[in-house]
Amino acid sequence: MLVFNADQVADLADELSGESATSSSQIQQVLLAAKQVNGLSIKQFSQLLSPAAESFLPQMAQLSQHITQQRFGKNIQLYIPLYLSNWCNNICSYCGFSANIKQRRTMLDMAQIKLEAQAILAKGYQHILLVTGEMPKLAGVDYLTQVVKFLRPLFKHISLEVQPMSVAEYQHLKAVGVDAVLVYQETYHAQTYAQYHLKGKKADYQHRLETADRIAQAGIDKIGLGALLGLYNWRFDAIMLASHLSYLQKHYWRSRYSISFPRLRPCLGDIPQQNLVSEKQLLQLILAFRLFNPQVELSLSTRESAAFRDMLLPLGITTMSAESSTQPGGYAQANQAQLNQFDIDDNRNTQQITQVISQLGYQTVMQDWHASFSR
Amino acid sequence: MLNIAGREFASRLFIGTGKFAHPELLKNVAQASGSQMATMALKRLHISTENTAAANNDDILTPLKQLNIHLLPNTSGAANAKEAIYAAELAREALQTNWVKLEIHPDPRYLMPDGNETFIAAKKLCELGFVVLPYVHADPVLCKKLEEVGCAAVMPLGAPIGSNRGLLTEDFLRIIIEQANIPVVVDAGIGAPSHAAYAMELGADAVLVNSAIAVSAKPVAMAKAFAQAVEAGRCAYEAGLAEVGMQAQASSPLTEFLQQLNEVE
């Protein structure tokens, strides 16, 4: 069973701004180590998250850019989410799909999915992320199998962001064509997790935590991890996320990993105000993560504003979504606005994003995988 | 002139096609480098025209087709022999070439080549009539075995891919070069023209460079620098500047004298 020493991490997070706060000279030492491009220890990573490190953001940014370009080149991979269903059994107080929210629920049928796929293909996408709320009785393995089998010949890379499953279920989905599975822990702080995830399977912290192990054991090529920043002390969650990644890389060396940094956005649910993360802090976190792990994919969604995304793009990010609709059926029938999981902020279309990426000196990559890999 | 599987190459610099900021830059680099062989990942190729919208964005094939450069598809992304063989077959169909740079890395973090799987795939692909250039660790025994199953060249790494650290595997590269009866192309880790020149001085037949050019602030100028370095290194090697190998030279100045002494006795 995967158990983190959360107390130790809490101490580490507290240390950063407490009485024995990280000093400038310590940050300089860490940056010197980061220049070797061998990654950093969890302790060093945590120091880069400290208030003291804020004044080193320009140096961190320069280093992060250099390390990212060396590994990933001047390329940005684009993907697009396809929301299949907003039915959900869970009650999570921050989410627009939460079961207690009265709203129109829908699950796309194959005819609707075909229309969505056509609309997405016309925009040029080859990497697609399938998203559902968590209602396995409806949008379960059988439904997802049918969807993936249909989409597999049309797209080069298929990711899932759905309810956690068993090893056997993941093995089955891998065989029919799933390349990646994303499961965010939301917060790694167990007590806080319990406060937000009130009902449904998602209320089981440990089951969700061990999902990445099951994905890896099933041999799925890529695993997406993340914490929903804003639920709890972001420094704590960032250190836990980094520890989770290190644990997984050590145990499942064949898996590829991707890290996302979703920040809490206004949605239909309750909006907690404490623990909110500023743009500057998110920047600090992304830079620190790149220095911590030079090889991991770092992904940024359209939750963030256009201006902020443009600024972040050359500083460590490798993967972005664009022109996203977070409601089922949102691409083929773009006029209903009431079903969103959360509101997006960067509303530019794919062509505009591609132009910006090019102006920043990067190549948009639409395709970097083949369906025959990892089957 | 460098000869691989009957094809002659005037340049001993091979280039990679990933990581470039735009396709036009790749084309300019390819021209400036004078390279006659460019490797490209099958996974980046828009094989059919089923999605022209996607192809419009990141087509690396069209600009290279306009040049007189030999395209060497690679199997990057394949995690085992089976996937690599399939990728090679797809690439053969798509690019009308039976050449393949065999890359198998089950480790997506450090992209370390898998010797076992590479050997299995190389053997099979050679039997299927492919011209196989396997990317491997600087493992002298593996390189000999790959030569025995019919590979056209071997491509041992100088350092972890994308690391720019130069010839960290120098001692093993020396053995590989010394023992090889097929061309040795040093691949991965070459981060500066001096590294490339040094590889050529050691007697490598060619080098493959990608990151160091693509990620440079001035890729076209850097491509030229690499071309010059490779040429200089090769000239030095041919002029006899290479260091003494691990075995004694067959004819040192003393050899004849010693033989005469033996005959007198």
Residue pLDDT, tens place only, A40-72 = 999 999 999 999 999 999 999 999 999 999 999
Q: Does the distance separating the beta carbons of B54 and A124 come in below 8 Å?
A: yes
A119-169 confidence digits (pLDDT tens): 999 999 999 999 999 989 988 999 999 999 999 999 999 999 999 999 999
| Rounded to 5°, angle at Cα A178 from A173 and A180 | 120
Q: pLDDT tens digit string along B192-230?
A: 999 999 999 999 999 999 999 999 999 999 999 999 999
Give the integer Cα–Cα distance in Å for B123 and A185: 45
- Judged by a CB distance cut-off of 8 A, whether residue B110 touches chain A is yes
How many angstroms away from the CA of A285 is the closest CA of chain B?
21
The residue with tokens 């039997």 is B127
pLDDT digits (tens, 9 = 90+) for A349-362: 899 999 999 999 99
Q: How far apart are CA A167 and CA A174, in angstroms?
A: 10
Confirm whether residue B211 is marked as ligand binding. Answer: yes
| Arithmetic mean of pLDDT over chain B | 90
Q: Do A373 and B90 touch (CB under 8 A)?
A: no
Asked if pLDDT for residue A344 goes beyond 90, the answer is no
> A-chain residues within 8 Å CB-CB of B20?
73-75, 363
* Res A345: pLDDT: 80
How far is CA A172 from its chain centroid?
A: 23
For an interface test with B, the pick among A38, A70, A152 (most B C-beta atoms closer than 10 Å) comes out as: A70
The span from the CA of B118 to the CA of B78, in Å, is 10
Q: Do A74 and B163 touch (CB under 8 A)?
A: no
Distance from CA of B210 to the nearest CA of A (A): 10
Mean pLDDT of chain A: 90
**B26 sits in which H/E element:** helix B23-33
**What's the whole-model pTM score?**
0.89
Taking an 8 Å cut-off on Cβ atoms, the answer to whether B58 and A156 are in contact is no
Place of tokens 């991965």: B188
Q: How many CB atoms lie within 10 A of CB B2?
A: 18
**Confidence class of residue B161 from pLDDT cuts 50, 70 and 90?**
confident
Structural domain spans, chain B: 2-264
The answer on pLDDT for A19 being more than 80 is: no
- pLDDT at residue A94, rounded to an integer: 80
Which residues of chain A from 31 to 50 reach within 8 Å of chain B, CB to CB?
Answer: 37
Task: For chain B, say whether A363 makes contact (Cβ under 8 Å).
Answer: yes
Number of helical (H) and strand (E) elements in chain B, helices listed first: 11, 10
Cβ <8 Å between A75 and B18? yes
Closest CA to B140 of B182, B179, B90, B187: B179
Q: Is the dihedral of CA A127, A129, A130, A136 positive or negative?
A: positive
Q: Is the pLDDT of residue A334 over 60?
A: yes
Percent of chain A with pLDDT over 90: 67
Residue A367: closest C-alpha in chain B:
B44
Q: Which of B101, B123, B145, B218 is catalytic?
A: B101
Q: In whole angstroms, what is the distance from residue B202 CA to residue B174 CA?
A: 7
For residue A40, tell me if it sits in a domain. no
User: Quick check: B96 pLDDT over 60?
Assistant: yes
Distance from CA of A351 to the nearest CA of B (A): 9
Overall average pLDDT of the A331-352 stretch: 75
Burial environment of residue B252 by CB neighbours within 10 A (0 to 12, 13 to 18, 19 or more):
exposed
Mutate to test the interface with A, among B43, B52, B209 (most CBs of A within 10 A): B43
Strand-pairing partners, residue A370, are: none
CATH class as words, domain B2-264: alpha beta
CATH number at residue A269: 3.20.20.70
Q: Decide if B51 and A72 are in contact by the 8 Å CB cutoff.
A: no
| Residue A79: its H or E element | strand A75-85
What pLDDT sits at residue A183? Answer: 97
Domain limits at A182?
Answer: 57-365
- Beta strands B7-9; B2-4: pairing state: antiparallel
SS3 category, B105: coil
pLDDT at residue B12 is higher than 60? yes
Residue A98: per-residue pLDDT: 86
Q: Is the pLDDT of residue A264 over 90?
A: no
Distance of residue A207 Cα from the nearest chain B Cα, in angstroms: 26
Interface of B with A in 4-23 (CB under 8 A): 18-23
The CA distance from B225 to B193, in Å, is 6
Q: Is B101 one of the annotated active-site residues of the chain?
A: yes
Q: Best of B17, B20, B42, B57 to disrupt the A interface by mutation (most A CBs within 10 Å)?
A: B57
Contacts of A128 (CB under 8 A, 6+ apart): A79, A80, A81, A82, A120, A151, A155, A157, A158, A159
Q: Write down the number of H helices and E strands in chain A.
A: 14, 11
**pLDDT tens, A78-134?**
999 999 998 888 888 888 888 888 888 899 999 999 999 999 999 999 999 999 999
* CA closest to B110 among chain A residues: A295
Residue A41 covered by a domain: no
Instruction: Please tell me the distance from the alpha carbon of residue B244 to that of residue A35, in angstroms, as a whole number.
Output: 35
For chains A and B, count residue pairs whose Cβ atoms are closer than 8 Å: 101
**Mean pLDDT computed over A211-237:** 95
Predicted pLDDT of residue B247: 58
Q: B167 or A89: whose pLDDT is higher? A: B167
Confirm if A86 and A106 have CB atoms less than 8 A apart. Answer: yes
Q: Is the pLDDT of residue A3 over 80?
A: no
Q: Do B58 and A221 touch (CB under 8 A)?
A: no
Our count of domains for chain A comes to 1
Per the domain annotation, does A68 fall within a domain? Answer: yes
Q: In this complex, is the C-beta atom of A114 within 8 Å of any C-beta atom belonging to chain B?
A: no
Shortest Cα distance from A283 to chain B (angstroms)? 23
Residues of B in contact with A152 (CB under 8 A): none
Instruction: Transcribe B118-187 into DSSP letters.
Output: HHHHHHHHHHTT-EEEEEE-S-HHHHHHHHHTT-S-BEEBSSSTT-----TTHHHHHHHHHH-SS-BEEE
Mean pLDDT value of segment A290-298? 97
**Residue among A74, A249, A361 whose CB faces B109 most closely:** A249
Which one of B43, B51, B110 has the shortest CB-CB distance to A368? B43
Contact list in B for residue A354 (CB cut-off 8 A) is 57
Structure token digits, residue A318:
């490798």
